[in-house]
Amino acid sequence: MWAVVLAMILVTYWRLDPDTRAATDDLYHVSGNGLAGGLSRVLVELDFPIAIVAVLLALIAIDAVPRRAWLVAGPAIALCAVVAWPGVVDQDDLDARWVNVVPALGVGLALALTMAPTPGPSGRRATTARCTSCSTGRPRSQATRRPSASRRRGRRSR
């Protein structure tokens, strides 16, 4: 869903002619347009609100991945937390600055963590993003349990 939002932001700013100042005046607190303006706005959008959501996703993913994943989750959370520092995202100036890259890197690490392969209950590898226990709320053993052999063949279990 966030990828669609970022794509829409990029297209909105990219389609405006970069040589016209009138197009920029109609947009909310930005000074650029065209491809550079679109990428700038996407970077700021990665900082807020996506970096805050990425902290929560990293914490959820930690439950499903091996313990050594804290080597990725710790820096991801720390980098995303930079967005809370005053002045990183300024509502009156939504143009990208170098400091906006730091939380965006944290978002990238959190995304990598959620897509990391994890051992499932049956020993097969699955990705955290496909973990059904995260979306169904059922314990992982119930969410991934396969029907018994007798039920698969159409026999009734007594």
Instruction: Report the number of distinct structural domains present in the chain.
Output: 1
Spatial CB neighbours of 138, under 8 Å, sequence gap ≥ 6: 132
Residue entry with tokens 């944290």: 106
Collapsing DSSP states into helix, strand and coil, what is residue 126?
strand
Instruction: Report pLDDT for 111.
Output: 93
**Is residue 126 situated within a structural domain?**
no
**Is residue 133 situated within a structural domain?**
no
**Is residue 140 situated within a structural domain?**
no
**Is residue 142 situated within a structural domain?**
no
Domain that holds residue 79: 2-115
Q: In this structure, are residues 34 and 16 in contact, taking their beta carbons and an 8 Å threshold?
A: yes
**Is residue 145 situated within a structural domain?**
no
**Is residue 100 situated within a structural domain?**
yes
State the Cα–Cα distance between residues 79 and 134, nearest whole angstrom: 24
**Is residue 89 situated within a structural domain?**
yes
**Is residue 158 situated within a structural domain?**
no
State the Cα–Cα distance between residues 34 and 43, nearest whole angstrom: 14
- Could you read off the pLDDT tens digit of each residue along the chain, which spans 158 residues? 888 998 998 888 777 766 666 555 566 666 777 788 888 889 989 998 999 999 999 998 888 888 888 899 999 999 999 999 998 888 777 788 999 999 999 999 999 998 877 666 655 555 555 543 444 444 555 545 555 555 555 555 55
Residue 56, Cβ neighbours under 10 Å: how many? 12
